[in-house]
Structures are given as C-alpha cells and as structure tokens.
Structure 1
Amino acid sequence: MSFSAFSSKFDAFLHDPQTNPLTADAMAGYNLFRGKANCNSCHLDGRSTAPTPPPPEGMAPNSEDTGAAANSRPLFTCFGSSNLGLPLNPRDAFFYQTTPDFFGFTANPFGFGYRDLGLGTFLRSGFGSWASPNSDWTQFAPASDGLMQTSTARNVAMTPSKCPTTEAPGPYFQKEFFHNGYIKSLKQLVHFYNTRDVYPFDVTSGHCPSGTIEKVTCWPKPEVPNNMDMTIGKLGLSDTEENQIVAFLQTLTDGFTTPYPDINAYTGQCQTGGSAATQGNESLILTPPLPPCASAVCGVSPVPNPPIQ
C-alpha cells in the first residue's frame, strides 16, 4: 500500500499558486468554503472562518477571510463531532441484520427500532458500543446524542481513474457520504448543508410529498433530532455556488503531484446517466413504519432528552 499525503491540486496551489492556479470555479468554491458557506468552521483549512453575514451584522468585509494563514498543512477536520440531522437511511443493511448468523450472532435484534445515537451511545457504553473508558463522561450522553465525528474533506472526491468523478452523469464511481450513506453525490452533500432547513418535511425517506423531489426540494426528518447543528441548513447559496464548492472539494484529492502507482487497478464498472442532484434516487425504497426506539438503545440512563421516538 502506498500513500501520497498532501499531494492534491490544492496543496500544489498553496505551495505555488502562480504555477498551480485553481480554476475560476474552484477558486470561487474555496472562497465560499471559508466564507459564506462557513464550511471551514469544522473542516479546518488553516484560515480564519469569515463571519457571515457581512457588515453590519458580521465583522469581515464582504464575508472574506482577512486572517493570516496557518503555518501547517490543513487537515480539513476539527476532529470534533456534530449532528447534521441526516434522515434515517432505510437501505442501511444494519436494519435488516435481525437474525442469527452462522456463529449465532445477531447484529441488530431491534431492526428499525434501532437509532444511531453516535457519541451518546459510546458515552453510555450502550448497545453496539465498546465500554466508555471514563464513567465520569456518562453524564454528557444526552448532550451528545446524534453527534458523529467530523471527517476530513480531503479525498472526498477520490475515485479510480477509470471512473473520474463521483458525480452523475459521469462516467462516475458511486460513493456514499456521511455516516449512514444517505447522500450519494457531492452535489447532494452541499445541497443538504445549504437547504436542510429550507425544505424540511415530517416524513421518512421514500415518503416525500407529491410535487417534491427527495434530496432536492424535500429533506426527510432527522433520525436523531436532538442536538442538531444549527450553523447549517439555510446558507443561502445559489445552485451555481453549490457547484463551485463541489469544484473546490474536487481539488482535495491526493495524487496530483505524486500519483498513486495503483490508481488504474480498478476493474469494476462505472455508472453513467442521470443528474448529481438526484443521484441514487432511482434506488430509493420506502422506509417502513418506524417502531419506537428500542429501550436497549434509547432507554439507557441517562436517557435522551427530549425522548427520541
């Protein structure tokens, strides 16, 4: 196995922007990433997070970063945790692993009664989690329900060279994003951050109302509504600005200055057709009626507050 860390187009740009400039769209996306979209408040890029909106409410001129750059390579994560309010994904295989396997192990005896409480489950030493190393942390579980670790934005667009993008119409390599794989493209990912609170519906996946399009003009309710991150959801980005952020994210793939020797090893099929905005919607399935959250998940003290259905 070989690694080419910090070898992306963006790293080359940071080293020598004159020789390795970003495209106009990628540069606009970078400015949005650290400005209007507020992405770098969690996905740290070594620069200031420009406050929004601009004056008089904000502090930075036109929401532009006026701080000094860090003297280290940006990791694009804060190593923190957040609940983004993602819907339950009924295609997650875990919900169907309700019978014993060859060894007699049942991964999920609760079926759709399971809720992924993330960090909250760990702090309780709850179902499916290793024991918390410090019982003093248990008291913080209710304030941590739904929180998932912030992943790096680096290599989020990495694909085999045979399928050069994650985005339809492609040819594209189908990836899944966020902790439960509900989002199927970077376009959808940015659109979710941008419009989660613009198009909220009290439905589960597969049940968006007639006249709406799931992941475009309808976001099903969150699996865990507690402790949601309210710094996202209504960013006011245009469709063009969303696409520009995607263009920037595509510059974070390692292998630009130091190519991976096995980048052409993939022998599978690429996918083609459709739109990045609705990518994967052809395989949406109806979420079944959800039973209450199992007591072995949501009934472990200290219980979620408010209770999770």
Structure 2
Amino acid sequence: MDAGLMLDALLALALPLLVWRAVCARDVFQACVVFIAYGLLLALAWVRLGAVDVALAEAGLSAGFTGALLLDAAVRLGRARERPMAWRPWVALPCAAVGGLLLWALWTLPAPPTRLPELVRERLPDSGVKNPVTAVLLNFRAYDTLLEVGVLWLAGLAAWAVLPARPAGPADAPVDAGPVLPALARLGVPVAVLVALYLLWVGSRLPGGAFQAAALLVGAAVVLRVSGRLPPVVADRWPMRLGLVAGTAVFLAVAVGAGLAGRLLEYPRDAAYGLIVLIEVAAMVSIALVLAVLFAGRRDVPGTWRGEAPR
C-alpha cells in the first residue's frame, strides 16, 4: 500500500477516535490533552489536503493556543473532578445528525459555474502578491477578512470587560517552573519570534501571513507566561489599547481610502502590495495582543497606574 494512502487512512481513523475520547474523557485535564492531540493531527490532515496556510493556523491557534486556554481553565477548575466514561446520546446523536446533514449538503452541491482557481490565477498579477491565498483573503475577498479581524477585536473587547481588576502584587512575581520551561523560554521563544516575522514577510508569496505569525507570537507569550517570565498583560494601558484596535483601524482606513479612490477595498495595482503588507503587520499585532489578553490579561484597579497601590 502506498505510504501516503496509509497515512490518510490512519488520519481518517484517528480523528473520529480522538473526538470520541475528548467527549468521553474521565476528567477535564485528560479531555484537554486529547483535544490538543486532535488539533495536531487535524493540522497534519490539512497538510495532506494541500492547505498549508490552514494547517499552520490550526496548529498554532486551535491546537496550541486554544489548548493552552483549556489547560489553564482545567487547572483552575481542579483536576479532581472526574467523571465516568459513559455513552452520551444527547451529545453523540445531534452531532451525528449535523454531520449527516453536512455530508448530504456537500453531496448535493451543484457544480460551480466557473473555475475559481483558474480565475484567481488569471487575476493574481493584479493582486499585488504572489500567494493565491493571501490574494483571496486580502484583496479579492478582503471584506471577509475585515469582518474576521473585527470579530477578533470584539472578542478582545468582551474579554477586557470581564478581566479581573487588581494591582500588581505577589501573584505577578515569577514562579518556580522547574528547569524545563525556563530553558524552553530562553531557547525557543527567540526562534518562535524570528519564525513569526518570517511567516509575516513570506506570506505575500508562500504560505504564511498575519494569522500564522500572530499564532506563533502568542505561543511564545504563553511559554513566557507559564514559565514565570511574563507578568499578566495589563489591557487598559494606552499602548495596549492602540495595539488592540490597530488591525481593525488600519484595515478600515485602507478600505475607506480605496473607496474614496474607486471602490471599497479595491486597491490601486501599484499600491496593492504595500497596502496588503501594512494590513498584515497591523493585523498580526492586534491578533497577537487579543490572544495574549485572553490568556494572561488583567486590568489595573481604578485610580491606579503602572501597578501602584490603590488609594
């Protein structure tokens, strides 16, 4: 049997099994670990399908960052909450029904009237970039990505509203995390930052871009936080506020500017590359900061500044 076919068969068998294990895990911590394993295998499945951009985002955001959030929540809840492994028809049957409906919808979809990949390749020289994924996301269908960035900004705003408010104190001091995490922070974090900047730079012609770069940056922040080298992120300082809105603000400014010159989000051909890079940089900063606030955010106590004691 062909090695690629064997790998695809193993992925097809392992992914549903991991989903079942995550749903029926004995405790919350075990379910989180299984979820992370599922995300990593799903990223490999996207690679096998040729969607490298999606695989990078899946590995960084779904398996990595979301897994870290779930593990943090599991630790806060306590690992003693065990539950017996049992059949849950009220979970399995609706999921099976939805899965069946999706398969039926995919099976009955009519053939597309045009060959979209060919159209993308034909118009790629007008997009300002050489990567067709970046061209679609930030030029041909840029309004979709604008809405996604706006949704992330709203998520950061909602998280900001419920963050605990407290001054800096003993809880912000570095903790004894053992020898492994500090070593990983010293050696891995600089590499992760360099790779993130590379993914941002190379995204105009190869798989990569703002979302993948932001995933690596926030992954480095998570490592620094759990190793005790990064204090909680104070969300209500003005540099943080500026960074949180930068992605949406720059995207909207470019959209309005393009609209005044012609049509909304239709960039001039000579300026398309520069505008896309500007949007990518601002989006990377905002996405990384929103995710960092979700994982390690807090607010200052009203009436304090820079962690001063409340009056």
Into which bin does the TM-score normalised by the smaller protein fall?
A: under 0.3
Greater relative contact order (CA < 8 Å, ≥ 6 in sequence): 1
- TM-score using structure 1 length: 0.23
Which of the two has higher C-alpha Rg? 2
Is the helix fraction higher in 1 or 2? 2
With normalisation by structure 2, the TM-score equals 0.23
